């Protein structure tokens, strides 16, 4: 029996239950959502007695707890709330997939260890999912017993009421009505859809407009990490900045049913420079930040909601943590295996401020994932939150450099974080890969779990670990940023060295063979499997590009590889577009595809010169 999240207590009993063709269900006033979920799994009819499944109220259980008993007479679910009944049905669903004709006799007693088990999806770096995709993600989250879902918004991936003039006729943002529709869909699945809108850093899209340009801390932008960055931080000392953020967040605050609102307020890179330099020299950057934070926390509180705020800036000024408002939640993010959640969360716990941890899927900046970092990052985050009494975890899934990675790359971290946040137990990684095989994909050959784990292990070919990324993104970022000399950076790249490149190409061949052996009984996930295959093909094309550009590549092999790439890149680009549009709005697809086109054009230039 494979269950994910793993249950707290499981006792087998001798007699199984023969699964009926049509289930007769005895419900109660708190079991409607659970009954509705059961209808999506089996045929059923309601009854008052002689039922195959009985919902029984038990006030001694916790909010999300349940007792699931299976014996020859049928199934009994004890619960105190709609949540507990719903999660019992989710466990029953996994059992029915594994034992479709005879359920094993057992008693399962279960409840989560963390109150908040959340997932954040970036919809602001070109890729905005369709409503069907978002609902499918909500279904997966519900199956994994997540209860908190955020769609990260910066710029104009969300259509703000009252700002219609900022959107063009071909823009495809998420609308307020769509948000409210998704909110209802999530609520029926015990998921809190939490608004997430940035309002300090990450404001480049706003500041690029003439009407808001003068709100920037540095109107000409700044140089950082060896390149020029467009203005991205609004001036917190200018009251108009605060008024703007209040104006575009107010309609969302009014429409939201959540008790939370994520303000972000992270990475204000220009803070302390430009228009804020004099004030920073007088009172300190931390004080400027804290004063702005308090204003927006109060704005959120006025709508009877609790603000979530990223902890990256606050961690730099520990002397100010004691001044944080108690009506907010500190969300500490870190995305590598060695991020010190234990230290940072211990410190914030001592202030009495509520807190959460935010590990990552590690799929961005990698295309196929970073499995080793992901596993440790999630485990460390969940352990530290439990140790220090936090509210929960928020698994983040970003879309840096145009969001090129497939959603399937996030399957394993989603499963692993579901396990670690619900229940501490040994064998979490094994349990997560087994879930992908048995429940999500229903893979008759049990291949997909280990395959997606191995896809994220190609970073072992790097010389040294790369924080929050893999070396693959050297090429991708240079092309995405349109750096004229990006090929110069690859002449000595390890991924282009003959021995390493050969190893990687052989491994890619193995991935393809294993993917062909995946036999999915779950038709809903087959498009994602196809997208995963396309990403493997794209990865191979990128690895061949490293080979073509490496200085040690013999001229004959270079010409042969360039000829091959001249044929492959148009195919990869066309298929990437097709896969994107199957699950996402067109949004800024051309911007993401432009990265591939720049690589292809550069290779063609080299080929022509040869």
Kindly report, residue by residue over 184-195, the tens digit of the pLDDT: 999 999 999 999
Other beta carbons within 10 Å of 484: 8
Residues 87 and 222 in one domain: no
Average pLDDT over the chain, rounded to an integer: 95
CATH of the domain at 341: 3.20.20.80
Residues 93 and 128 in one domain: no
Residues 392 and 458 in one domain: no
Residues 198 and 294 in one domain: yes
- The Cα–Cα gap between 409 and 416 comes to 13
Q: Which two tokens stand for residue 538?
A: 């794209």
Counted domains in the chain: 3
Strand-pair partners of 245? none
Residues 319 and 350 in one domain: yes
Q: Which residue has the higher pLDDT, 486 or 17?
A: 17
Residues 125 and 86 in one domain: no
Residues 60 and 168 in one domain: no
Residues 342 and 356 in one domain: yes
pLDDT score for 129:
98
The predicted model gives 169-179 an average pLDDT of 97
For residue 461, give Cα distances in angstroms to 123, 228, 472.
Answer: 31, 30, 11
pLDDT score for 238:
98
Q: Which two tokens stand for residue 390?
A: 């936090």
The predicted model gives 34-51 an average pLDDT of 87
The predicted model gives 23-40 an average pLDDT of 95
Query: Would residue 172 count as lying in a domain?
Result: yes
Query: Would residue 443 count as lying in a domain?
Result: no
Query: Would residue 162 count as lying in a domain?
Result: yes
Other beta carbons within 10 Å of 12: 10
The predicted model gives 141-146 an average pLDDT of 98
Residues 98 and 127 in one domain: no
Domain boundary residue among 424, 443, 469? 424
* Residue-range definition of the domain harbouring residue 543: 452-609
pTM assigned to the model: 0.97
Closest C-alpha among 246, 264, 262, 154 to residue 588 = 154
CATH of the domain at 53: 3.30.379.10
H or E segment and range at residue 380: helix 371-388
Query: Would residue 433 count as lying in a domain?
Result: no
Query: Would residue 435 count as lying in a domain?
Result: no
Residues 120 and 82 in one domain: no
Q: Which two tokens stand for residue 500?
A: 């390493």
Kindly calculate the radius of gyration of the chain based on its CA atoms and give it in whole angstroms. Answer: 25
| pLDDT reading at 163 higher than 90 | yes
- pLDDT category at 491 given cuts 50, 70, 90 is confident
Provide the 3-class DSSP secondary structure of residue 256.
coil
Q: Which of 54-63, 367-376, 469-478, 573-582 has the lowest mean pLDDT?
A: 469-478
Residues 391 and 483 in one domain: no
- pLDDT category at 426 given cuts 50, 70, 90 is confident
- The Cα–Cα gap between 417 and 119 comes to 9
Query: Would residue 4 count as lying in a domain?
Result: no
Domain boundary residue among 66, 85, 110? 110
Residues 81 and 121 in one domain: no
Query: Would residue 80 count as lying in a domain?
Result: yes
Domain boundary residue among 110, 135, 154? 110
pLDDT score for 474:
75
| pLDDT reading at 485 higher than 70 | no
- The Cα–Cα gap between 343 and 345 comes to 6
% of the chain with per-residue pLDDT over 90: 91
| pLDDT reading at 267 higher than 70 | yes
Query: Would residue 3 count as lying in a domain?
Result: no
Q: Residues 355, 333: contact at Cβ < 8 Å?
A: no
């Amino acid at each position: 029996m494979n269950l994910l999240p793993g249950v707290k207590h499981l006792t087998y009993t001798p007699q199984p239950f023969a699964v009926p063709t049509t289930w007769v269900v005895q419900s109660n006033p708190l079991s409607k959502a659970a009954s509705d979920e059961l209808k999506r799994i089996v045929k059923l009819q309601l009854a008052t007695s002689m039922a195959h499944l009985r919902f029984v109220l038990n006030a001694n259980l916790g909010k999300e707890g349940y007792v699931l008993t299976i014996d020859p007479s049928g199934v009994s679910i004890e619960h105190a709330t709609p949540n507990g009944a719903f999660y019992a049905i989710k466990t029953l669903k996994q059992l029915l997939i594994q034992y479709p004709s005879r359920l094993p006799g057992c008693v399962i007693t279960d409840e989560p260890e963390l109150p908040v088990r959340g997932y954040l999806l970036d919809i602001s770096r070109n890729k905005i999912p369709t409503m069907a995709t978002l609902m499918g993600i909500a279904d997966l989250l519900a199956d994994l017993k997540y209860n908190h879902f955020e769609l990260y918004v910066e710029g104009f991936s969300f259509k703000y009421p009252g700002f219609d003039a900022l959107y063009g006729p071909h823009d495809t943002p998420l609308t307020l009505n769509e948000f409210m529709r998704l909110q209802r869909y999530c609520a029926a699945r015990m998921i809190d859809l939490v608004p997430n809108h940035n309002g300090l850093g990450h404001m480049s899209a706003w500041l690029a407009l003439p009407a808001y340009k003068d709100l920037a801390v540095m109107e000409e932008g700044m140089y950082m990490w060896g390149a020029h960055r467009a203005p991205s931080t609004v001036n917190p000392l200018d009251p108009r900045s605060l008024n703007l953020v209040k104006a575009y967040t107010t309609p969302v605050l009014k429409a939201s049913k959540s008790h939370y609102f994520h303000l972000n307020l992270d990475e204000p890179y220009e803070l302390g420079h430009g228009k804020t330099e004099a004030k920073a020299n007088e009172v300190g950057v931390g004080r400027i930040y804290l004063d702005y934070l308090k204003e927006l926390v109060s704005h959120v509180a006025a709508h009877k909601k609790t603000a979530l705020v990223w902890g990256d800036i606050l961690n730099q000024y520990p002397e100010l943590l004691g001044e944080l408002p108690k009506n907010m939640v500190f969300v500490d993010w870190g995305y590598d295996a060695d991020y010190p959640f234990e230290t940072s969360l211990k410190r914030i716990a001592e202030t009495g401020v509520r807190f959460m941890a935010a590990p990552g899927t590690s799929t961005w900046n990698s295309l196929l994932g970073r499995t080793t970092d992901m596993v440790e990052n999630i485990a460390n985050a969940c352990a530290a939150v439990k140790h220090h009494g936090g509210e929960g975890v928020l698994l983040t899934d970003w879309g840096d450099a145009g969001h090129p990675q497939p959603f399937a790359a996030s399957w394993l971290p989603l499963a692993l974080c579901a396990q670690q946040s619900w229940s501490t137990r040994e064998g979490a990684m094994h349990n997560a890969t087994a879930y992908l095989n048995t429940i999500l994909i229903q893979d008759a050959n049990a291949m997909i779990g280990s395959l997606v784990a191995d896809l994220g292990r190609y970073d072992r070919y790097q010389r040294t670990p790369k924080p929050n990324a893999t070396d693959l993104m050297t090429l991708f970022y240079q092309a995405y940023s349109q750096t004229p000399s990006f090929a110069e950076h690859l002449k000595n790249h390890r991924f282009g060295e003959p021995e390493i490149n050969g190893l990687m190409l052989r491994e890619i061949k193995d991935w393809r063979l294993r993917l062909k052996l995946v036999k999915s009984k779950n038709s809903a996930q087959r498009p994602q499997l196809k997208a995963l295959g396309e990403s493997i093909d794209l990865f191979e094309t990128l690895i061949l590009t490293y080979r073509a550009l490496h200085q040690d590549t013999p001229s004959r092999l270079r010409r042969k590889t360039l000829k091959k790439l001249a044929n492959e890149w148009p195919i990869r680009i066309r298929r990437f577009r097709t896969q994107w549009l199957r699950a996402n709005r067109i949004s800024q697809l051309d911007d993401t595809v432009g990265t591939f086109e720049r690589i292809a054009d550069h290779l063609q230039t080299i080929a022509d010169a040869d």
